[in-house]
Amino acid sequence: MVQKSGFLVSHAFYANDLFIMVKADISTAKAIDGVFQKFHEVSGPAVNKEKSAVIFSKSVRSKRRLLQVLQVKVESFPIKYLVIPLVNKGLRSANCKGIFDKVTTRLEHWNTINLSLAGRIELLRILDVDFAAKVVICWDFVNNKEASWVKWMHARWSFPQFFLASAVTFMANIVVKSGQDDIEWSQGRFSLKNVWEICRARGQIVGWKELCWKFCRPRAAVLVVIILQNKNLSCFNLQRMRFSGPSICHNCFKEEESNDHLFCKCSYVLEVWQQVLDKLHISVVRFQGLNQFVEWILLQVQADCLKSKIMKGIFCVFIWKFWMERNVSLHGGSKEQASVAANVIVWEVMHFFSIGFAELMILFDAA
C-alpha cells in the first residue's frame, strides 16, 4: 500500500496473481476486503491470505490497523517473485543473477536426454542462423556501414591490415567478389536471409517435403521425416542392421514389421484408417505400401486451401500416432481401441488448426 509520496514500482513480474497499488487508509483497506468477500460469494474461489502480502511505504503510519483489516503478512522490498526480484528501483543485472545462473547451468548440461528430436533440429537451425549473423556483422564492419557501432569500433581500435584481409577471406568463402577498392555481394541483395540460404546445409529435395512441416506439432513432423526416410528403428530395420530379435508386428502379430506393413497393411491400422476417413466423409482407400500412401496424399493436397492443410495434418498425425501405439505394444502395454485412436487423430488436427468438429464437417462436405 502506497501513499502519494511513496515509492514507485519500476518492474513487476507476475503470472496469475494480482498486484494492487492503493492509498494507505482504513476505508480503502475495508473496500478491498469487501471486494474480495463479494468475489468469493459470487464465484466461489477465495483469496489465499497465507500466500498474500502487503508492502507499505515508509510514510505509512497506521500499519497495525491496516493489517487488522487485511489479515495478511507484511513484506518489504526487495522480494523475490517467480525467481525474479521485485524492486522499487531500476532492475539491474545483479538482481537477475539467480535466473541467469539457472539458465546457464541448464545450457551447460544440454545432452541427448534433455533435448528431443525437434529440439535438436531447432538447435542446429539456430546455430546456422548464428553463423549467418556473424557474416552480416563482418560485412557491415568491412564496408564501413553507417552505424554507430561500426564508427565506434573503427575509432576505438586501429585494426591491422591482416585482420581486414582475413575478414574479406572469410566472407569470400560465402560467395562474394572482391574488387580493388570495395567488396560486392554476388548473390542479389545482401541480407541475413540470403546469407543463411547460402550457408545452410541442403539435402536432396523430395516430393513429400511439403507434407511434414507447418501442419502438425514438431515432434510429429520430425518423426514423419524419419519414417519416410526409412530410418526409424522398426524391427525390420533393426534386423537389417544385424540386431537380433523378433520381427513380427506388435499390433497384429501377423506379418513382419516393415514400414509398408506397419502403416498400410496392419489390420489394426486399416481399421483406424477406415474410421478416420469415415469421419471426414471420404471413401476408404487401401495402399500396398507407404510410398503409395504418400502419392495418394500428395494428390489430395494439390490445392492451397484449408482442406489440403488438414489432410496433410491428418497424414502426419496418423503416422505419428501409430508409431506411438507400436511402441506401447512393443513394451507390453495395451493399444487403444480403433475408435479411440481415430478420435485422437482427428482431435489432434482440429486442435492444431483451431477448428471445431462442425466446421470440419462443413469443410469436407462442401468439398
Is pLDDT at 1 greater than 50 in this prediction?
Answer: no
Determine the pLDDT at residue 186.
61
Residue 212: Cβ within 10 Å count: 23
- The single-letter DSSP state of residue 337 is P
Determine the pLDDT at residue 82.
66
pLDDT tens digits, one per residue of 181-224: 555 566 666 676 777 776 666 677 777 877 877 788 888 888 88
Determine the pLDDT at residue 71.
85
pLDDT tens digits, one per residue of 108-149: 665 545 666 666 666 666 666 666 777 777 777 777 778 887
Cα distances (angstroms) measured from residue 118 to each of 66, 114, 133, 205, 218: 53, 11, 23, 20, 6
pLDDT tens digits, one per residue of 284-327: 888 888 888 988 888 888 877 888 888 888 999 999 988 888 88
* Paired sense of beta strands 73-74 and 53-54, if any: parallel
Question: 40-54, 117-131, 163-177, 299-313: lowest mean pLDDT where?
Answer: 163-177
- How far apart CA 135 and CA 210 sit, in angstroms, is 30
Angle, CA 195 vertex, CA 191 and CA 200 arms, to 5°: 145
Q: For residue 321, what is its C-alpha cell? A: 500416432
What are the φ and ψ backbone dihedral angles of 248, each rounded to 5 degrees? -75, 150
Q: Report residue 6's pLDDT band, with 50, 70 and 90 as the boundaries.
A: low
Determine the pLDDT at residue 118.
66
